[in-house]
Structure 1
Amino acid sequence: MTTSADDPSRALARSATRYSRPRTVTLCLVSTAATGAGLLLPAALGSTLDLLLTGAPATGWVLCCAALVLSLALLDACQSVLVGTVDARTTAWLRHRLTGHVLAVGPRATGRFGAGDLVARLVGNAVQAGTAPAARAVLAAALAGPVGGVVALALIDPWLAAAFLAGAPVLALLLRAFARDTSRCVSDYQREQGRIAGALAEAVDGHRTVAAAGTADRETARILRPLPELSRAGHRMWQVQGRAAARAVTVAPLLQLGVIAVAGVLLARHRLSVGEVLAASRYAVLATGVGMLVAQLAGVARARAAAGRLGEVVAEPAPAHGTRRLPPGPGRLELRGVTARRGGRTVLEGVDLVVPGGTTLAVVGRSGTGKSLLAALAGRLADPDEGEVLLDGVPVSELTHDELRRAVAYAFERPVLLGDTVEEAIGLALTAPSPTRIRQAARTARADDFVSRLPQGYATALADAPRSGGESQRLGLARAFAHGGRVLILDDALSSLDTVTEARITEALAGDGSSTTRLLIAHRAATAARADAVAWLEGGRVRALGRHEELWRIPAYRETLTGSPTDPAAPAVPATPSGPAAPAVPATPSGPAATTVSAAPTGHAAPTGHAGPSGHAGPTDPARPTDPAAPTDPPRPTDPAAPTDPPRPTGKAGP
């Protein structure tokens, strides 16, 4: 049966063979030369025996036999070295090719296959698929042995070849059935291996949860659930190979005996010499070299099955990049009619959104409304099914890969820190990282204090730098801040921070004088309040867009952030830092003409909340910083004589 991965797997195998072509051709020539020497040796032995039996001088033939034996030894050694070299080079190429493709596909790859299964394919299956060029080259030489043996029998006497060919169809059918059954069994075996690897990766990733819940035995059982199927597939594979070997042991000796019997009759009739009978017996063994063919066919079958699994990964399309570069601009981000589907479900539908350059937009919504997907689409970690995303007027799909990645920086909820040291992890995206830039980014992310306390500071190895979830998140933020670029996207990257640290980081970003456009995925009211505007997602659409204090009057919006429709008169956020206020944006419904963030750049503090009569945040605000000494967030005084005056946005903004 043909699968969708057949064509990609064949193309991948051809590319791998082309990569190793010079060495593969050399291996094929060496293997063929070894087969040729093996075919010449019986004839030389037969001639030597005839000369010795007649008493004629045979020194030359003896030396010829010795040279052939020595050549066989040298050629076998060269073949072993070449096989190892070709296997290693091809495996390295496949891993490089597959790793690059997985990274190009992005998060969709792990969503489609799972991290553990991908690791199994890139590590184990790549090794098996990497043996394909060498296995095919050696198989070609191995096939030359039986063919050459039959030809040699025909040259000695046609009746010898006829005796062998009478039983050859049985041998051919045996090999064909073996190759077919082995491919199926190996595919099943590798698939079950991938399932176990995927489950193991999930358990390792959640080992703390497993330990805390005391479910180690249950997780072990879950991981090993495919083990019976793996065992059955392995047993079937060995049974197929065992049956093939048993049949070969039955058929091959019968063919050899038939050839020798005919040779004996011809010897009795003086049509063959003793030496020719000896040569015929050796050629019969070569012609029935099923053992070597079975081993080579099994290797090719394993490589083919592994290449099929790699082909499934290659078949997952990677986004194509364009050739355009960004013009000078402030980092204006625009989504036009964006619709995205995942798993057959529409997650985002018809989203139109404009974020002016230098402003901060917070995106809020219930879990599952597509906030993280919107963040991924904004920086082209994923592509929309409909619509387009533009950066400074250029569709991001038309930008070159390097141009796009230089322009957009990301920080994630669970950052994966790469590099040998803390400094390398922060400067990962920089072509020429400078210590000054890295330390400034760490200070902005409030990571400099705990990094400086490490044994070797920024030079501390990541493995020797124990970190809490919040500290890892701060290092991820520092990496994004060091990256720079026109757009900074924080995908819930502040969720593990305490409210005081979060407030200091967001205020530092607002006051750093940067022209970077910021897109924040927010779950806290305080985070939304510090943004220039808020996009409220509901049902895959932008339900409303405006300032946080305007949206706070809507019960459903308050419930989205607090879990309950709190009193709209309660202060929505902590009091804002002092500074000139940006004009407020009234809450607007979604639509192409109503979703532009008309807000001042974040260098000017936007009005971020209401001041209550007491000057303190109301009890329903879960996101208020608890540090009264935070220098950048002083409480704003209110008039105690006017307790009935409803709260208003701070600053000079209108309603």
Structure 2
Amino acid sequence: MPRTDTADRLLLRTTRRGGGWVVVLAVAALADAAATVLLPAALGLAVDDVLTPGPPGRAVWLCAGLVLVSAATDIVMEPATGAGTARATAWLRHTFVRHVLAMGPAHRLDPGDVTSRVVGGAAEAGIAPVAVVRAAVAVLPPVGAVVALMLIDWRIAVALAVALPLPVLVLRTFVRDVTGSVRRYLDVQGAMAARLAEALRGLRTIAAAGTAEREARRVLAPLPELRREGEDIWRVQGAIGARGLVVVLLLQVVVLAVAGLELAAQRITAGELVAAGRYAALAAGLGPIATHLGRIGRARGAAARAAEILGRPAPVHGDRELPPGPGTLEFRRVGAGGVLREVDLLVAGGTAVAVVGRSGSGKSLLAALAGRLADPDTGEVLLDGVPLHRLSRTALRDAVGYAFARPHLFGETVLEAVGFGAPGAPEGFLRHAAVTACADSFVRRLPSGYATAMPDAPLSGGEAQRLGLARAFAHGGRLLILDDATSSLDTATELEIGRALFGALAGRTRLITAHRAATAARADLVVWLDGGGVRAVGTHAGLWRDPHYRAVFGEHS
């Protein structure tokens, strides 16, 4: 859980992003506060005018003018409130999304929970600019009321000052309680969103198993807790309303009692008695302050959840470029994830290397480290003699191409999906990559070929994998990493792609996590992972004599 001051700093940054509309809101709110403070005095003058023989004075018109000012400021504050909130929310969402994407896959984030934070949480935190301005301005009428009472009669002001710490204590307790309640409410909401996202990812499995009702109960299981936390928020807000009413009545009784004595002693007028009563209500004005402090409390709770993610470090890239080279890949005493320990490995440039091992041996982790989708806990990974963490982001991503078992395809059209990550690549180059990945034939059968919109292109698992391979072929510069990227292909297609992988793409270094003996057999070199490290490096034919190696592929001598 992040420190409160970290969340408050994020909230302050969010507040600053409200833009010019916050200034407009502040000016309008100040004008409204001034009218609110002056109105009881004007009302008192009007009462004295009525009680004094002779023609009425201008106090009545002054009251009307102050009421009109207050109404006009309300009209201005409405659009300023909406615009300032929207600007702050947009900034926080942009900041949050950019950071999540910059973090990469090294931090395991639940999509549902992240979505909850960026959608609902950012909206809650985005009210901070408006809430801070309104809360700050809401303090002015009580302060102005105290000053006004001093001007009316210092004895009344002293009586008010003695009782004033009580509403301050009530407000402080309210902010603390509402912040905690909102934070817990959003945590439960995030947990529900995470369960729903998980269920949506597994809809086919749920339908096949006939467990829709059970999954619905699992997703909605936190609802009672969500209800309790929601009721707690309302309880806190209801309590401040009840306590506020008692405090206001108490202060008014104290002030009116002293003011009545002052009127009896002829030290104040009847109009000043009326004004004093109104100022007592303003001085104890917990309502507006509590409303805006409640919003700040909700914003703090949401900001704390955002700060949890924003506080996680994103990979820092260097500024070096790659020197000319064949794509030599080197692991130096690399340890990572509690799986790989003290891995030393040198892959010569242009070599096709198959990484094999039992499930859980670290094949995918090694593939992630090779292109810096993850950073090692110890040691370093180098490409053509340059540590990956010293490379600029552009140099690293231009040099390394990835293909995955379950590729996510981005882009408006099929052609854009193939060219994702390779901006500016000629269309002919992208089509050639699709041909190399055996994707061209089925793409041409789509309604608009390569111009087919991705939502209109129903793809099987194997077809999606082939487009993922085409994207990697179009993207990878000197190092191509295939992490189980042919698992959904039929044997004939895999053999055809293998011919390109071990033939036409021979100019690049290729790191392939392999589950099939046929793939390992076609590689120049096999890296056998076992027990957290490299057990052996050699050709498939040479390693095949070892029965433990054969067992990796389910074969026995």
TM-score, normalised to structure 2, is 0.95
Equivalent residue number for residue 10 of structure 1: 8
Tell me, yes or no, if structure 1 residue 488 matches structure 2 residue 480. yes
Q: How much does 1:235 deviate?
A: 1.7
Structure 1 residue ranges, 4+ long, deviating more than 6 angstroms after superposition: none
Contact persistence 1:28–1:140 (CA under 8 A): no
Letter of the 2:139 counterpart: L
For residues 71 and 399 of structure 1, what CA distance do their matches in structure 2 show?
A: 61
Which residue does 2:262 correspond to in 1? 266
Tell me how far 1:80 sits from its aligned partner: 2.3
**In 1: Cα distance, 2:526 partner to 2:496 partner:** 20
Structure 2: 5+ residue runs without aligned partners? none
What CA distance in whole angstroms lies between the structure 2 residues aligned with 1:183 and 1:209? Answer: 40
Q: Which runs of 5+ in 1 are unaligned?
A: 568-655
Q: 1:278 aligns with which of 274, 290, 295?
A: 274
Corresponding residue number in structure 2 for 1:32: 30
Residue aligned with 2:548, SS? helix
Choose 142-151 or 268-277, whichever is displaced more.
268-277
Match of 2:175 among 155, 171, 179: 179
Per the alignment, residue 416 of structure 1 pairs with 408
CA positional deviation for 1:58: 5.3
Q: CA RMSD in A?
A: 1.9
* Pair 1:431 & 2:427 matched: no
Q: Give the letter aligned to residue 425 of structure 1.
A: A
- The number of residue pairs the alignment matches comes to 557
Query: Are 2:366 and 1:370 aligned?
Result: no
**Higher RCO (CA 8 Å, separation ≥ 6 residues):** 2
CA distance in 2, matches of 1:277, 1:471: 84
Q: CA deviation at 1:57?
A: 5.5
Shift of the 290–375 alpha-carbon distance from structure 1 to 2, 3 Å rule, reads same
2:77 counterpart (76, 79, 85):
79
Instruction: Give the conservation status (yes or no) of the 8 Å contact 1:5–1:315.
Output: no
For residue 339 of structure 2, give the secondary structure of its aligned residue in structure 1. Answer: strand
Select the residue among 119, 123, 127 that pairs with 2:119. 123
Aligned residue for 1:286, secondary structure, equals helix
How far apart are 1:63 and its partner, in Å?
4.1
1:620 maps to none
- State the Cα distance separating 1:9 from its structure 2 match: 2.4
Distance change >3 Å, CA 453–CA 59, structure 1 → 2: farther
Match in the other structure for 1:584 = none
**Aligned ranges for residues 583-594 of structure 1 at < 5 Å?**
none
Which residue number corresponds to residue 162 of structure 1?
158
2:8 partner SS: helix
CA drift at 1:56: 5.3
CA distance in 2, matches of 1:146, 1:542: 73
Q: 2:94 is matched by which residue type in structure 1?
A: H
For the residue of structure 2 that corresponds to 1:511, the secondary structure is helix
Note the alpha carbon deviations across 1:448-506, whole angstroms, 9 max, x for none: 22222222222222222111111111111111112131111111111111111111112
Counterpart CA distance in 1 for 2:156 and 2:19 is 38
Structure 2 residue matching 1:518: 3-state secondary structure? strand
Q: How far does residue 126 in structure 1 lie from its aligned partner after superposition?
A: 1.3
- CA deviation after TM superposition for structure 1 residue 384, in Å: 0.2
Residues of 2 paired with 1:316 and 1:5: CA distance? 13
Seq. identity, %: 54
Structure 2 residue corresponding to 1:503, chosen from 495, 515, 526: 495
Distance 2:505 2:136 in 1: 69
The whole-number CA distance in structure 2 between the counterparts of 1:174 and 1:17 is 25
Q: CA deviation at 1:336?
A: 0.9
Report what 1:538 is aligned to: 530
2:472 maps to 1:474 = no
1:348 aligns with 2:346: no
Which letter maps to 2:210? G
In structure 1, how many angstroms separate the alpha carbons of the residues matched to 2:436 and 2:137?
65
Does the 8 A contact of 1:480 with 1:488 survive in 2? yes
| 1:287 paired to 2:283 | yes
SS in 2 for 1:170: helix
Q: Which has the larger radius of gyration?
A: 1
1:207, distance to aligned residue in structure 2 (A): 0.8
Letter in 2 for 1:482: A
How many Å separate the matches in 2 of 1:5 and 1:531?
A: 51
Q: Distance in 2 between matches of 1:129 and 1:216?
A: 35
2:323 matched residue in structure 1:
327
Deviations along 1:161-209, one digit per CA (max 9) or x if unpaired, are 2332333222222112111111121111111111111111111111111
Q: Which residue of 2 aligns with 1:552?
A: 544
Cα deviation, residue 408, structure 1 = 1.0
Q: Match of 2:512?
A: 520
2:106–2:373 contact (8 Å) kept in structure 1: no
**What residue is the counterpart of 1:296 in the other structure?**
292
Contact 1:6 1:311 in 2 (8 A): no
State the secondary structure of the residue aligned to 2:327. coil
Matches within 5 A, 1:241-252: 241-252=237-248
Aligned with 2:63 (options 65, 80, 85): 65
Residue 59 of structure 1: how far off its partner (Å): 6.6
